[in-house]
Amino acid sequence: MLPALSVPRGSRSPFGRRLLVTAAAIAFLWIATLTTADAGSLRRVTFLPQWFPQAQFAGHFVAMEKGFYRNHGIDPVLLRGGPGLSPEEALRKGKADFTTLFLAEGIRLRAGGVKLVLVAQVVQRSGVLLVARKSSGIIKPSDFEGKKVSLWEHSRTQLLAFFRKHNVHPDIVRQTFTPNLFLRGGVDAASAMVYNEYHTLLNAGLNEEELSVFAMADHGLDFPEDGIWCREELCVRSPENCRAFAVATLEGWRYAFENPEEALDIVMKYVEEAKINSSRTHQRWMLARMKDLIRPADLNRPPGRLDRGDYDRVARALADAGIIRAIPRYGDVHVQDPGQE
């Protein structure tokens, strides 16, 4: 608390003015000292979202802007996501402390020898789609045989499992960060997220009636998606940082869903700073769909928790599809409450 310094209210003397100036200077130095000490006590961490700024990461942006991370003692540095730096590379090379990954990708990396751990499973349902024009002849899964399909370079594990499950062999081409190749007729089908590319296709003028939409959730591949991952070494060395980052992020998501317009203001700030060509309307659609995936009506467990049954189902699907050879132990992958016994 600042010391009380009083000056007679009617004082006009040089001494009185000097005392006011001195009091102001002392107050400034006192506040500066407290601010510096507070900033110095924060633990610096780095975070890489797996894609460009958008409402898919609204919880993180809100937690930063509302001070939730600072309230938990950490000062996160936000790295720019996108095709330039993959989460896998960032974690392998120690370029980021935390990143977001789909559960299937995290399991694949852990099974491949990358020592990663999941500190919070944020998205509990799958929003992955395959979208095709009916005019291409794709109506049912078997129709993908021999068709040209674009998939993302990263996060394609679930889609490959879909093709292997239905024993089809499409001609797979690399999909960039826009669905333009599909829109121009360059491929018969494309991968899409229900909260992003699918809405973009509808906004581009395609009608739902002319599209065949294959939701992975409807084909036994309802894989939980975005989770917060870090290196196992970090979780062992600084469990308090892991817990703080997870808890503050979940607080950010709760606030975003309770205050969607304010959350959209924050999201658009990050979108505009990154010079991303997007609209508030599109981000509003995305935030609403993220709520469907993060807080489904039938969810009966605490936010951030990965259900053991979901883990076993995803891991078994990857093993059956030949994507991983051995299933990592659930307890080795998911840290239920880092920092707590």
The reply to whether 264 and 182 lie within a common domain is no
pLDDT value for 17? 40
Q: How many domains does the chain fold into?
A: 2
The reply to whether 117 and 245 lie within a common domain is yes
Among 171, 190, 219, the domain-final residue is: 219
pLDDT value for 155? 66
The reply to whether 210 and 142 lie within a common domain is yes
The reply to whether 147 and 182 lie within a common domain is yes
**Is 288 a member of any domain?**
yes
Please identify which residue in the block is written with the tokens 């999941």. 118
The reply to whether 304 and 228 lie within a common domain is yes
Among 219, 245, 280, the domain-final residue is: 219
**Is 82 a member of any domain?**
yes
Range of the domain at 175: 128-219
- 155 - beta bridge partners? none
The reply to whether 169 and 231 lie within a common domain is no
Dihedral over alpha carbons 240, 243, 248, 249 (to 10 degrees) = 140
pLDDT value for 29? 31
Residue ranges for the chain with pLDDT beneath 70:
1-40, 154-155, 337-341
**Is 27 a member of any domain?**
no
Q: Which residues lie below 8 Å from residue 256, measured CB to CB, with a gap of 6+?
A: 58, 59, 62, 263, 287
**Is 38 a member of any domain?**
no
**Is 102 a member of any domain?**
yes
pLDDT value for 239? 93
The reply to whether 172 and 64 lie within a common domain is no
CATH number at residue 146: 3.40.190.10
Tokens of 271: 């979108």
pLDDT value for 178? 83
Tokens of 36: 């510096």
Among 219, 235, 258, the domain-final residue is: 219
Per-residue burial over 218-248, b if 16 or more Cβ lie within 10 Å, else e, is: ebebbbbbbbbbbbeebbeebbebbbbbbbb
Nearest alpha carbon to residue 283 among 250, 261, 258: 261
For the chain, helix, strand, coil in percent to 5 are 50, 15, 35
The reply to whether 51 and 100 lie within a common domain is yes
The reply to whether 120 and 144 lie within a common domain is no
pLDDT value for 218? 94
The reply to whether 196 and 305 lie within a common domain is no
**Is 32 a member of any domain?**
no
3-class secondary-structure state, position 87: helix
8 A C-beta contact, residue 243 and residue 337: yes
The reply to whether 207 and 70 lie within a common domain is no
Taking the model in full, what pTM does it have?
0.84
pLDDT value for 10? 39
The reply to whether 94 and 146 lie within a common domain is no
